Structure 1
Amino acid sequence: MSNIQQIPLVPGHAAILKKCQSAFCHAVKAKFNCMAILHNMEEAGSFGSNSGVLRAEKRYSTKLSNRVEISIWKDDLTRHQVYAVVNAANEKLNHTGGLAQALSDAGGPMIQKWSDDIIQRVQRVKTGDAVLTPAGNLPCKYIIHAVGPCLAPNPNKKDIDRATPFLYNAIFRILEIAVIHNISSVAIPALSSGLFHFPRDLCADIIIKAIKQFHDLNGFQGKNLEIHLVNNDEPTVQEMERATRAILGPPSISAVDLYSGALHLKTWSKSQVYNAMATSFASAAKETTANETPTVEFHSVSKEAEREAKVWAFNMLKQSDNMTIRNNHVIYLDQRDHENMLSLQAKFRVHIKKFLRSGNGGITITGSPSDVSCAAIEVESMLCKAQEDFTEAEENYILYSVVRWSCEDEPWIQTPEISAVLEKAYLAGSKEITFSNHKVRFKSMVLIDDNGGFSAVKRTCLLDPFEPLTNSFYARTPVSSKDYLDKEGRRTLEAFGFRIVKVEKLENNALKQLFDKNEQRMKDKPRRLYQRVSAQFCDLICRVGFQKEFAPPAGNTNVKTLRIIIRFLCSFLKAFLVKGAEGVSPSKEQEHEQYIYIIQARVLTGKSTDGFPHSILSPNKKQAPLNRYDCLSDRGHVIFSSQQALPECLIICDKLTAV
C-alpha cells in the first residue's frame, strides 16, 4: 500500500461529496483502482441512499502476507467502500430483515430480482454456500450472498458445534469467490451472529480462524486482497478486534497511525494543478478543528494511480456551470441508466445531454456549479459500470475463442459466460467452484449437481495449450525500461523531453494466441507501434486488448506534444492505427492527467488499400464480399480488428519535463 494521507476538504467540496459519496468512491475505484474513504462526513442523502451519519472507523489492521491484509472497521456496510460486500443471506435469498434488507433497500429492487432469478434456477442456496450478484446502487461492484448457519435463540453447545463447520464453509466460499472473480477488497460482517443467533464471540473466532486457514492452504493463490471485517455496532466490533489480536497478533504500525488525527498532504512541486488542489484542501483546516474536518483518504498500490485519482477528484470538485464527460461507453448505457439520468436531472436541477459525434461519445451537464459537480460524479460512476460490463463481456468472448469448457450432460455450460467463469477459476488454481446448483471439481474434472449426480467436464484448448499467468490469463509486471524498451523507443521519448517513470510488461495469453493466428493467416511481419491512452484504460487494455471504446479521437495537432506513432481514431464500428511522425494533442481528459500513458504494441497491417475517414469496414478485394483488405493506408495504417494489435508494455512518462 502507498502512504496513507487524509486530505482536508474545503466546505464546498465536502458539501458536494455528502450528496454523491457512493458514486465518487466507485468512480475512483473503477478508473484508477484506487480506494477513496471519506471521514467526518454527515451523509446528506446521496442518490439512492438513506440519510444518516457515516463515520468509517478503522480499528485494526495486519497483513497475513504482502498481498493479503485484514482490517477491522466500525462502519455502515451499505456505505462501506470496497469492491464487494457480503450479505448475511438465508437459503431462499429473501432479503426481508436485518443486514439483508438494509443492503437490498440501499442497492435497489434489482438486488432482490437478481436473487430471485438465482432461486428460480437452484431452489435454494445451501447453508455454508454463497452466490454472487451485481450490487445495484451500492458503492461496490458485487454482493456476495453468504448463507451462514441459523440457530435458535440461546443455542446449546451441541447446536453450536453442529453449526460451526457451516460457518467455516461460508467464510471459505466468500474468499473463494473473491479469488475467482479477482475481487481486490471484500467487506465481511459477523455472519450468523445477528438474527441467526450464533454467539458473537465464537463467531468472531471462527471467522478469523477460517481466514487464516484459507491463507495457510494457499487459497489466495498470490492474489491481492483486502479483507475488511465490518460491523456497525460497538460490541461486535470489539469482539472482532479481540479475536484478531488473539489469533493474528498486534496490528501493523500503519494501522495504528491511520486514524491518529494527523492530517498530512503530499504535494508535487512540478504540478501547478496539484499544488492548486493542495492549497485548496489545506485551507479547510483553518476553518474547523482537526477532529471535525471532513477529509478524503486514498489507498492504492501505485503512487501514479493515487496521484491521478487525487487530481481527478479536484477537477470534479472545482465547480463549473458546464462539464463534459467524454467516454465512448455511453453507447452501452441501458434503459435503467437513462431513467437514472432523468432522476439526476430532477434531483440536482441540471440538464444532462448525451452526444455521439465524430467517433466521440460522452455526456454534457449544465446547471449551477455545485449541482453540476454532483451530477457529473454520479454520471462518471454510471459510465464506469457500463465500461466494466463491456470489458467483462469482451473478456468472456476472448477466452471463449481460445478455450472452452463443456459437459455432455449439461450443454448449457458451453456458453461464453459460464465457460469464462470456469476458466478463470481453473487458472486461479481453485480446487472447485460452485455456481447455480452445480459444483465443478477441477482435479477430477467432474460436475456435481444438487442431487449428487456426477458428470464429466472437459476443457478444450482450441489453439495451443493454455497456461496461467500469475493465476490468470493476463498479467502486468514492472520491468526495467533499459532491459525492456528498445533504444529507438527510449530515444524518441527523450527527444521530446519525457522522463520514463515506470514500465510494465503486459501479457495476455488468450489475446496472444488470437494475434499469432492472425499473423499466420496474414503472413505479415508485425510492426512495433505506440498508442497513447488514458489512465483509466491501462488495465482494461491488458485484459482485452485495444478496443475502439478505449480511445476517443485526438484533438488538433500540437507540435509540442509527443509524436505518437500510433493513434486510434474511433467511429463506433472501427479503430484507426496510424503510423507516422504526426504530432497529436491529448484528449480533454488526458490534458488533466499527471502522466502520459503509452502502450507499446505489435501490429499486423497486412494487405492495405486506400480508404476514407468514415469507413465502417475495409473495402472488398475485387468486389468479393468475404475477401477484404486487412487495413486502410490513408494517413497511415487503419485496422478494423483488435486481434491485429497485441499490447507488449505500458510506458508511464512524466510529462512535466516536456518542452
Structure 2
Amino acid sequence: MKETVNEMGSFIELSGPHLLILEVALHVEKILCDLQEEIAHMIEIELVQFQVQWVYISDNHKIKYESNENFILEMAYLDKKKFESIEVNGTEQTVYFQGLMALNDQREEFKVERVIQEQDDYLEKLPSNWDPPSGSVFQKVPMHITRPEFQKLISDLANIGLSILKIDRIENPVLWNCHLLKKEQDSAASRIESQVNTLYQRIPAQFCNFVCRIGFHEIYAQENKRKYGDGIYFSSDVKQLMKEATDVEKIIHFFEAEVFIDLEFLPQVHHR
C-alpha cells in the first residue's frame, strides 16, 4: 500500500492479489465513512449546544450536561418523548420532560432546565410553512415540481437534457437559526460589503445527508478546478455548473441555498 499526499488531498494506491485488494479497499472505505460520520456528529453536537443547553440542579448549583448528552436530550425533546435515559458521571439518569425532572439510579432527584443560549428559542423562529421538528436534526419535505418558483430551474435543466425527478425542502431548525443570526448580525452592523444570493451546489449522493445535517463544507462539494483557491464553491447558473462537471452520474443532486457573499473579497469569490 502506498499513500501520496499533496495539495489536492490524500491518495492510497494498493497492489497485490485482486481479492486482497478488494478486502483492503472496503476496509479503508469503512474507516473513512466512520470518520466522516464521527466528524459530522461532532459538528451537529456543537451546533445544537450553541442554541440550547440542558442543565440539572444539584445542591442549588446548575450543572451542564456534557455536549453529547445535551444533544441526546434535545433530540428526545424534539421527538416529544416522555423521558430519555443518559449516563452522567458513571450513573444512569432518566430525564422526564413533562415535569422537567431527573432521577438517577441512586434514587436521587434533580430539577432539570432547558436553557436557551440566544435571546429567543430557535424553535420559535421557524417559517410558518415548516413541519413541526421531530427527533432528528433535519427533515426532507417533498415539494410539487409544478410550483411556479421551480419553473426556471426546470427549464434550465431541460435545456441541457436533464429532467427533475423530485425536489425536497430541507428543514433544519438549527441551521436555519444560524442563518437568521448571520442576517441579524449583518443588519445590526449595517454591513454593505456582503449580500445574499440564491446559488447552487452539486453534491455527490453519498454526502447529501451530511449537508442536510451540518451545512456546506468543502469536503462534501463536487471537485472543481479551484480557480480562486480553497473554499466552498457555488454557482448562480445550473447550466454552468454542469459544464464544469468532470463526471456525470445517472442521478445528480443539486442544493439551492441562500449564500452570504463578501463583496470586499471579490473577485476572489469568497463564500461562507
TM-score (norm 1): 0.35
Pick from 144, 163, 179: which aligns with 1:499?
A: 163
| CA radius of gyration, larger in | 1
Written as runs of structure 1 = structure 2, the 5 A alignment for 1:146-545 is 351-353=1-3, 355-409=4-58, 413-436=64-87, 437-463=92-118, 464-467=120-123, 468-483=132-147, 485-523=149-187, 525-545=195-215
Partner of 2:254 in structure 1? 598
Could you tell me how far 1:462 is from its partner in structure 2?
2.7
With over 3 angstroms needed to count, the CA separation of the structure-2 counterparts of 1:531 and 1:352, relative to structure 1, is same
Q: Deviations over 1:149-199 (max 9, x none)?
A: xxxxxxxxxxxxxxxxxxxxxxxxxxxxxxxxxxxxxxxxxxxxxxxxxxx
One-letter amino acid of the structure 1 residue matched with residue 209 of structure 2: D
Whole-Å Cα distance in 2 between the matches of residues 479 and 608 of structure 1? 36
2: CA distance, partners of 1:579 / 1:479: 21
How far the C-alpha of 1:579 sits from its partner, in A, is: 4.8
For 1:480, give the aligned amino acid: H
CA distance in 2, matches of 1:357, 1:465: 44
Per-residue deviation, 1:551: 2.0
TM-superposed CA distance for 1:604, in Å, is 1.1
**For each residue in 1:261-306, what CA deviation from the matched residue of structure 2 results, as whole angstroms up to 9, or x when unmatched?**
xxxxxxxxxxxxxxxxxxxxxxxxxxxxxxxxxxxxxxxxxxxxxx
Code of the residue aligned with 1:520 in structure 2: it is E
Distance change in 2, residues 1:432/1:373 (3 Å): same
Give the secondary-structure state (helix, strand or coil) at the position aligned to 2:152.
Answer: helix
Q: Are 2:102 and 2:112, in contact at CA under 8 Å, matched by a contact in 1?
A: yes
**What displacement does 1:374 show?**
1.9
Separation in structure 1 between the aligned mates of residue 26 and residue 174 of structure 2, nearest angstrom = 34
**Residues 512 and 384 (structure 1 numbering): CA distance in 2 closer, same or farther, change over 3 Å?**
same
Aligned amino acid, residue 526 of structure 1: V
Residue 75 of structure 2 aligns with an amino acid whose one-letter code is: K
Deviations 1:580-606 (A, max 9, x none): 6463123xxx54x43111111110114
Name the stretch that deviates more: 600-609 or 436-445: 600-609
Cα distance change, pair 578–363 in 1 and its aligned pair in 2 (3 A):
farther
| 1:442, distance to aligned residue in structure 2 (A) | 0.5
Q: Which runs of 5+ in 2 are unaligned?
A: 124-131, 188-193
Call closer, same or farther: CA 1:454–1:435 in 2, change over 3 Å. same
SS in 2 for 1:585: coil
Q: CA deviation at 1:485?
A: 4.5
Alpha carbons of structure 1 residues 470 and 421: separation in structure 2 relative to 1, 3 Å: closer
- Give the match's secondary structure for 2:168: strand
Counterparts of 2:85 and 2:95, CA distance in 1: 6
Query: Residue 482 of structure 1: SS of its match in structure 2?
Result: coil
Label 1:570 to 1:427 Cα distance change in 2 as closer, same or farther (>3 A).
Answer: farther
Pair 456,542 (structure 1): closer, same or farther in 2 beyond 3 Å: same
Distance 1:508 1:570 in 2: 29
Cα distance, 1:459 vs structure 2 = 0.8
Check conservation: 1:477, 1:506, Cα contact below 8 A: yes
Question: Could you say what secondary structure the match of 1:430 adopts?
Answer: coil
Check 1:381–1:469 CA distance in 2 against 1; reply closer, same or farther (3 A cut).
same
**Separation in 2 of the partners of 1:418 and 1:376?**
34
Letter in 1 for 2:65: Q
Amino acid at match of 2:44: E
Cα distance in 2, alignment partners of residues 451 and 552 from structure 1: 52
Gaps in structure 1 of 5+ consecutive residues = 1-350, 556-566, 611-632, 642-659
The number of aligned residues is: 248
Match of 2:129 in 1: none
Identify the residue that residue 609 of structure 1 maps to in structure 2.
Answer: 265
Distance 1:373 1:513, change over 3 A: same
Structure 1 residues 424 and 487 mapped into 2: Cα distance closer, same or farther (>3 Å)?
same
Counterpart residue number, 2:191: none
Residues 418-444 of structure 1, C-alpha deviations (whole Å, 9 max, x = no match): 211110111111111111221111111
Give, in angstroms, the shift of residue 510 of structure 1: 0.4
CA distance in 2 between partners of 1:378 and 1:427 (Å): 36
Deviations 1:12-48 (A, max 9, x none): xxxxxxxxxxxxxxxxxxxxxxxxxxxxxxxxxxxxx
For residues 605 and 425 of structure 1, the distance between their equivalents in structure 2, rounded to whole angstroms, comes to 36
Cα offset, 1:412, TM superposition: 5.5
Q: Hey, what's the Cα distance between the residues in 1 that align with 2:250 and 2:77?
A: 38
Distance 1:362 1:455, change over 3 A: farther
Match of 2:270 among 638, 647, 651: 638
1:548–1:568 CA contact under 8 A, matched in 2: no
Report if the CA contact (8 A) 1:568-1:578 is conserved.
no
- The alpha-carbon deviation at position 362 of structure 1 amounts to 4.4
Q: CA deviation at 1:476?
A: 0.7
**Distance (Å, rounded) in 2 between the aligned partners of 1:479 and 1:533:** 19
Which aligned segments of 4 or more residues in structure 1 are displaced greater than 6 angstroms?
Answer: 567-570
1:585 aligns with 2:242: no
Name the CA distance, whole Å, in 2 between partners of 1:383 and 1:485: 38
Q: Secondary structure at the match of 2:166?
A: strand
Q: 2: CA distance between counterparts of 1:419 and 1:510?
A: 14
Aligned to 2:127: none
CA distance in 2: counterparts of 1:400 and 1:484, whole angstroms: 38
Instruction: Say whether residues 1:553 and 2:223 are aligned partners.
Output: yes
Structure 1 residue 396 displacement after superposition: 0.4
Conserved 8 A contact 1:478-1:503: yes
Alignment RMSD, CA only?
2.6
Q: Cα–Cα, structure 1 residues 604 and 443, in superposed 2: closer, same or farther, change >3 Å?
A: same
- Identity level (%): 21
Using the TM superposition, give the Cα deviation of residue 578 of structure 1 relative to its aligned residue in structure 2, in angstroms: 5.1
Distance 2:229 2:93 in 1: 42
**Is contact 1:554–1:584 with CA below 8 Å preserved after alignment?**
yes
Is the contact made by 2:195 and 2:263 (CA closer than 8 Å) also made in structure 1? no
Q: 1:352 to 1:439 in 2, by over 3 A?
A: farther
